[in-house]
Structure 1
């Protein structure tokens, strides 16, 4: 059984939630394009954009970890759960302006991607 599609689905739900938050803020502030100079909207756009950038790379990596590197379910689920948690923490830290938490979440995101890439290269 493949677990990477489930990880991709959870990440997709996170991205949808972030996108809906942007739409909500655009309605509240009556902004059609860009951020209208509204910091809260800028943060929402960046949270979505950054999460999308990271999720695309990780989704590919975790799929190849599972299929090409033939990693076990425990490794795939551990990497996936940690990545989802890191992205949620990153977004929450961005919205609440907690720089240290955001930096740690970003570092964890990068470390998980490095780990996945090394697992693939090792096989």
Structure 2
């Protein structure tokens, strides 16, 4: 399988969530991440893909290989045009749940990766970007 250095996958169905996990696995293997780091990135991507579909009404996952200070990494962006997150501080609080998903939530996903950034505005959707460095 030839891996593109960047690309986009739709997140509109449950099947797309499976496809996103498979793509992230392939991207992590291409980057030669350890099995532990692969598992962390796939788990975070699965949670964020599900959030994009369930809470954002669907959207997309974009990926790109990045380099900083001589290190290579994988950056994923989960984007939707949904209702946004009404209380970002609450959503980033450990133990808070909307009642669905794997129960990791945003704080759990944040702990699994090296870099985590979220932008959300009411009525304008949400973008979560995560990076795992080699």
Q: Which of structures 1 and 2 has the larger relative contact order (alpha carbons within 8 angstroms, sep 6+)? A: 1
**Would the TM-score normalized by the shorter structure come out above 0.5?**
no
The structure with the largest strand share of the pair is 2
Q: TM-score, normalised by structure 2?
A: 0.33
The structure with the largest helix share of the pair is 1
- Of structures 1 and 2, the larger Rg is shown by 1
Q: TM-score, normalised by structure 1?
A: 0.35
